[in-house]
């Protein structure tokens, strides 16, 4: 956490390059978001997307899911509502 931002980092071994993407931290945390994050990156790379863009897309997706989920009174251990936004990801490959 730096200056109120959460930072997602990646390392591209092939290009020996560190990558980062930051978003405003909303002081909310939900179980399973790391699993979703890595699944999105894996899927995007498998479909030919750039690693740097994949980090941004996954970060923005998780942020959107957390913002949406926080409007409801659910236990953070139950994770985020991500299903409503899946079309955002599937439409990337059209």
In a domain, 22, yes or no: no
In a domain, 14, yes or no: no
The domain of 88 spans 28-93
pLDDT single digits (tens) 61-88: 999 999 999 999 999 999 999 999 999 9
d(C-alpha 76, C-alpha 91), whole Å? 28
| CB atoms near residue 39 (< 10 Å) | 14
d(C-alpha 37, C-alpha 55), whole Å? 8
Q: What is the pTM of this model?
A: 0.91
In a domain, 13, yes or no: no
In a domain, 1, yes or no: no
d(C-alpha 69, C-alpha 90), whole Å? 20
Q: How many domains does the chain have?
A: 1
In a domain, 17, yes or no: no
Residue 94's pLDDT is what? 59
In a domain, 18, yes or no: no
């Amino acid at each position: 956490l730096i200056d109120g931002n959460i930072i997602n980092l990646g390392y591209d071994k092939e290009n020996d390059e560190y990558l980062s993407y930051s978003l405003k931290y909303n002081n909310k945390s939900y179980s399973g978001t790391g699993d979703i994050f890595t699944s999105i990156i894996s899927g995007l790379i498998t479909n030919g997307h750039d690693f740097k863009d994949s980090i941004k897309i996954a970060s923005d997706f998780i942020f959107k899911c957390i913002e949406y989920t926080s409007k409801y009174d659910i236990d953070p251990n139950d994770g985020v509502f991500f299903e409503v936004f899946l079309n955002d990801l599937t439409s990337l490959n059209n």
